[in-house]
Amino acid sequence: MNSGKLWDIFCRVIDNHGDLGVCWRLACGLAERGERVRLWVDDGAALAWMAPHGASGVEVRNWTPILELGSIPMGGVLVETFGCGIDPPFVAACASHAIAAGVQGLWLNLEYLSAESYVERCHGLPSPLPAELVAGLRKYFFYPGFNEATGGLLRETDLLSRQARFDREAWLRDRAIDFRGEQLVSLFCYEPAALDDLLRQLAARGPTRLLVTAGRTRTAVEASLARMNRVNPTWNQGEKLLVSYLPLLTQHDFDHLLWCCDLNFVRGEDSLVRALWAGKPFVWQLYPQADKAHQAKLEAFLDMLQAPAALRSFHRVWNDVDRASLPAIDLTQWQPSVSGARTRLLVQQDLVTGMLQFALKNR
């Protein structure tokens, strides 16, 4: 599908792994389908390791406070991600260009992912614009989601074929990980209060290798291990829990990490979707919000997942909703809900296809 439009995606980096990850996947997905994309980002440094080879059809632009509009050709679709706030002069220039060309410009507000019921009610609704912009632009809310009444989830066209070709042993060997058949667990998290509890439980499960992602996760694990070794040096008797620290991973290699593990711990929006496509049991940590809004978001997601009681309890403790010890990990009990959700979601329209169809209908 090719709408023949130039898309301008605006991204303000709050979490290098999250907001920018979603925007890059969206940009690549549009370009993969023949669209031209400019990704405006205020701090694109993380793309050096997240997507070191770039992508054909995607131009990364530095989003500075003052854009030099005179030399910038205007496109046909604006995408404002996560309420980042596009510069008013840029919006006005797009509206003027559309009026002069005799076409209708489109402005999409791409919102955060949630399984809460308001998403279905708000997806696709128009957003008011000042009178001077209405003649050239129409603005709509676009919500990702977990059913056909929403915008869907980001999913590459070659995802399943890549997954089918994946060689776990080769990937681990290339990263100098001495895999000998032990259980593999990936960890991508913030600083959960239950981290010590998790490490003790993994050590008690038998031979387990924890693959720790770079950044905040590694810092949290190193602090936890230092504390536990100081308080009780024998907690990991026999070193049944092995810890491997990973470098920063490209987006494809983050997928590979999830595919090779028996259990995945993920955080934020982008890695949640990747864990669903991986199809392995996983635990999600939401970004904690002062008003506790993340708690309702968690419960709605667990309902969508049709999570069993034990997996719900584990999520609540991991997200510091319940102050208790972590329930026992039970991969056999957790797997069916993940497999079922993945099957349901794979037959639904992906987000890029939905956005293209929405643009064709409403531009």
> In the prediction, which pLDDT does 75 show?
78
> In the prediction, which pLDDT does 66 show?
60
- CA neighbor of 245 nearest in space, from 214, 204, 206: 214
- CA neighbor of 73 nearest in space, from 3, 5, 135, 132: 5
> In the prediction, which pLDDT does 183 show?
97
What CATH number does the domain located at 159-346 have? 3.40.50
Sign of CA dihedral 275, 249, 195, 220: negative
> In the prediction, which pLDDT does 73 show?
73
Q: Are 193 and 223 in contact (CB under 8 A)?
A: no
Token pair 């829990």 is at which residue? Answer: 241
Tell me the whole-structure pTM to 2 decimals.
0.95
Helix 293-305 with 331-346: angle, nearest 10 deg:
90
Q: Are 357 and 348 in contact (CB under 8 A)?
A: no
> In the prediction, which pLDDT does 275 show?
98
The predicted-structure confidence for 41-77, as pLDDT tens digits, reads as follows: 999 999 999 999 999 999 999 998 666 666 677 778 9
> In the prediction, which pLDDT does 3 show?
45
> In the prediction, which pLDDT does 301 show?
98
**Cα gap 111→122, rounded to integer Å:** 10
> In the prediction, which pLDDT does 1 show?
39
> In the prediction, which pLDDT does 146 show?
98
What amino acid occupies position 132? E
Report the mean per-residue pLDDT for the chain.
93
Return the SS3 of 47: helix
Residues classed as catalytic: 19, 269
Q: Where in the chain is the domain with CATH 3.40.50?
A: 6-153+348-362, 159-346
Q: Looking at beta carbons, which pairs linking 95-100 to residues 24 or more positions away fall under 8 Å?
A: 95/132, 95/133, 95/135, 95/136, 95/137, 96/136, 97/136, 98/74, 98/136, 98/137, 99/135, 99/136
Where helices occur in 33-130 by DSSP H, the ranges are 47-50, 88-101, 118-122
> In the prediction, which pLDDT does 16 show?
63
Q: DSSP letter at 56?
A: T
Sign of CA dihedral 114, 79, 20, 14: negative
Per-residue pLDDT 10s for the chain (363 aa) are 344 589 999 999 987 678 999 999 999 999 999 999 999 999 999 999 999 999 999 999 999 866 666 667 777 899 999 999 999 888 988 898 888 888 889 999 999 999 999 999 999 999 999 888 988 999 999 999 999 999 999 999 999 999 999 999 999 999 999 999 999 999 999 999 999 999 999 999 989 999 999 999 999 999 999 999 999 999 999 999 999 999 999 999 999 999 999 999 999 999 999 999 999 999 999 988 878 888 999 999 999 999 999 999 999 999 999 999 999 999 999 999 999 999 999 999 999 999 999 999 987
What CATH number does the domain located at 6-153+348-362 have? 3.40.50
Q: What DSSP assignment string belongs to 280-306?
A: S-EEEEPPP-TT-HHHHHHHHHHHHHT
